[in-house]
Amino acid sequence: YLDFLLFSSLFLPRSYQVTMSAYGQGMTQDDMMAKDMVILVDDNDEIIGNASKVASHTFSKKNPRGQLHRAFSVFLFNEEGKLLLQQRADDKITFPAVWTNTCCSHPLHGYDPSEVDSPKDVASGKVPGVKNAAIRKLEHELGINPNDLEHADFKFLTRLHYWAADVVTHGKKAPWGEHEVDYILFIKKNVTFKANPEEVMDTKYVTLPELQKMMKKKDLLWSPWFRIIAEQFLVHWWKDLDATLTTDRFVDVTTIHRFDPTAEHMGGAGNASTYLGTAASPYAATGAAAPAAPAAKIGNAALKQGSYGKVKIHKHSKLSQLSHIDEVFSALWLQYGGGAMENQIDLKDENAHFCDDMLNKVSRSFAAVIHQLPKGLCMDILIFYLALRALDTIEDDMEFFKADNSVKIKHLQDFYKVGLVTDGWHMDGVGLGDERTLLENYHKCVAVFKTLSPASQEVIADITKRMGAGMASYVEKDLGQGTVDIPAYNLYCHYVAGLV
């Protein structure tokens, strides 16, 4: 069946003009999968081409998450402030029978009026292409008269980058899934609608408390994108709906929020796993100050260097690594031959256990060495390392503070007297992967820090202060082409590594 759809899509014209009024007439789900041409984009939402829905939604070893493309999600509220939900038809190919927001679909290539938005369209917040697509699909799925909708009715808020394998429907090796940069559109309007049974199984207007109650029911399926949006974003947008629609409080045309699906939607035919990071509310304040702007995340959360994959780093091949026989022997001896010494950390304390676990996750070679230090020094150096790793994570994040570097500078300069010592301090949304987890739970490190001797606390605070100040002095310098000379390079290395 999949081969048939792929074959069909290859022999269909890739550039054609279709009017909105003609969309969907006489077309089956298979027809739309084969004929509709979605807009392919890179991680920065720059257009790189187009492809059929079949090709873009196919998860395989070659494309573990399919092909990244544009999408939109409409959240339609009535004048009472209730959100219209839909349950997707059970014969939909991707994510059938799940509950989700009012309308989820794709702007398409080759339509008139155009559904393709330029960077200028996005920067202006007008996104006429996406709005044209939304009007087309609201008619197709819900029978809403397009003459009753205008561009001005829609409020574009932001973009979300996510992916999800449809393993719930199609099994562990599911060949289908979504990988989208999703444009969020809000609209508040009383409309007359009649659901298209080939697209929509059921509909329901709900309040926020009613939605939250529905989502706790174990017998209801929810789209993976809507579940995360509802929990991390929607609750903030809906809290003051009029303000969301009439002001720019939540409008962000520059940030692309990124998140992996929950565990049950990973896998698929390409065995896709963590990629974008864990979803977290971009509107949550840190323990020290509110973030300057919602965080945009891109890159591989598994990488500790190279700005999580945004900067190219050098890697040795496995063959090259294995050619160093003495190093291989030493590693095997350390792991299996009795070369390792006993971990000196007291793991009975919950906070100490967390710190030890984080050390193993965020360090490369330091963990093995720190664990073998004497008991009177082991925990002190462990906390010292985690404090500097937290500081380094703040410095490395080039997206979270992009709107206002002064916020980042202040965090770096003040970390030694705020984050390092303040009970309950944490920072949400900064970094990726394990480094992000470290910052979000840093209050546990603070608790352990306060059990150290006054002398150890003084040394850690002093080095943290000097490193933070040094890092802060480079925040607004353009190091894209390196430093201006060797002395400047040496000074930077002194701040970020030498002080350790």
Catalytic residues: 104, 180
Q: Which of 186, 203, 39, 60 is nearest to 125 (CA)?
A: 186
- Are 157 and 250 in contact by the 8 Å Cβ rule? The answer is yes
Instruction: Specify the pairing of strand 177-188 against strand 155-165.
Output: antiparallel
Task: Kindly report the length of the chain.
Answer: 500
Which residues have a Cβ under 8 Å from the Cβ of 432 and sit 6 or more positions away?
277, 297, 299, 300, 301, 308
Structure tokens at 59: 């998860």
- Are 59 and 132 in contact by the 8 Å Cβ rule? The answer is no
Neighbours of 16 (CB within 10 A): 12
- What string of DSSP letters covers 73-139? EEEEE-TTSPEEEEEE-TT-SSSTT-EESSEEE--BTTEES--PPPHHHHHHT--HHHHHHHHHHHH
What's the one-letter identity of residue 212? Q
Structure tokens at 3: 């081969």
> Can you tell me the distance from the alpha carbon of 181 to that of 201, in angstroms, rounded to the nearest whole number?
26
**Helix, strand or coil for residue 365?**
coil
> Can you tell me the distance from the alpha carbon of 401 to that of 428, in angstroms, rounded to the nearest whole number?
12
Judged by phi (left if over 0) then psi (alpha if -120 to 50, else beta), residue 415 lies in alpha
Q: How far is CA 351 from the centre of its chain?
A: 28
- Are 178 and 163 in contact by the 8 Å Cβ rule? The answer is yes
In this structure, what are the phi and psi dihedrals at residue 159, rounded to the nearest 5 degrees? -125, 145
The number of helix segments (H) and strand segments (E) in the chain equals: 21, 12
In this structure, what are the phi and psi dihedrals at residue 18, rounded to the nearest 5 degrees? -130, 135
Q: Is the dihedral of CA 98, 252, 46, 482 positive or negative?
A: negative
